[in-house]
Amino acid sequence: MGDLTDLLLAFENVNGVTLSVTMSLVNTPNGPDLGVKVSADSREDGNGGVRCLGSASVICSATGLKHLRGVVTHALYALDFQLALAEFDAAQTKRA
């Protein structure tokens, strides 16, 4: 589990966010499966306020990956893409 913990910690540090990882059973046409959701929240602003900056959800069997670390990494890539798009949009808005 150390490598998964290190992966999540590195993502938090690089992006300046707090991560939440949720796993749940989901019903699919092929039967029950495992769903993984990663969410990134802003760090506390001093007034106790945080906001969700993005989230990504994947269904394990749909990724074609065999290990949980791979599934979480896949979800983090999707989340990172969302965070990058939001950052790009914010930069464009500041220019206008």
Q: What is the mean pLDDT of residues 18-46?
A: 92
Q: Of all helices (H) and strands (E), which one includes residue 43?
A: none
Q: Is residue 35 part of a domain?
A: yes
Q: Residue 70's domain spans which residues?
A: 2-87
pTM of the model: 0.86
Give the pLDDT band (50/70/90) at residue 87.
confident
Q: Is the pLDDT of residue 48 over 90?
A: no
Domain of residue 23, CATH code? 3.30.160
Ranked by mean pLDDT, the top range of 43-47, 62-66, 69-73 is 69-73
> How many separate domains does the chain show?
1
Q: Is residue 93 part of a domain?
A: no
Q: In this predicted structure, what is the pLDDT of residue 50?
A: 80
Give the pLDDT band (50/70/90) at residue 11.
very high
**Beta strands 17-28 and 52-59: pairing type?**
unpaired
> For residues 80, 82, 69 and 16, what is the CA-based torsion angle, rounded to 10 degrees?
40
Q: Is residue 77 part of a domain?
A: yes
Sequence letter at residue 82 = Q
